[in-house]
Amino acid sequence: MMRSAKTLITLLGFALAALFTCQPTLAADKPFTFGLLMVGPANDHGWSQAHFEAAKEIEKKVPGTKMI
């Protein structure tokens, strides 16, 4: 019984330590710029178009991003 109590207290201690060491990420001062290297045109109705549309969605939904 004593061993399981020590184990529980140790696990709770580790959980609390992990919780208190987590820091929220700060927004960057400048935008995160990314680019795509595609093998075809952006409107080829295939993989290139899917990647281009996904990159546009990232620009809309993730603040501070910019595609070149």
DSSP 45: S
Domains in the chain: how many in total? Answer: 1
Say yes or no to pLDDT of 6 above 80: yes
How many C-beta neighbours within 10 Å does residue 63 have? 10
Beta strands in the chain (DSSP E): 32-34, 65-67
Structural domain span for residue 34? 2-67
3-state helix, strand, coil in the chain (%, to 5): 50, 10, 40
Q: How far apart are CA 50 and CA 41, in angstroms?
A: 11
Confidence of residue 23 (pLDDT cuts 50, 70, 90): low
Total residue count of the chain as it appears in this document: 68
pLDDT digits over 41-62, tens only? 999 999 999 999 999 999 999 9
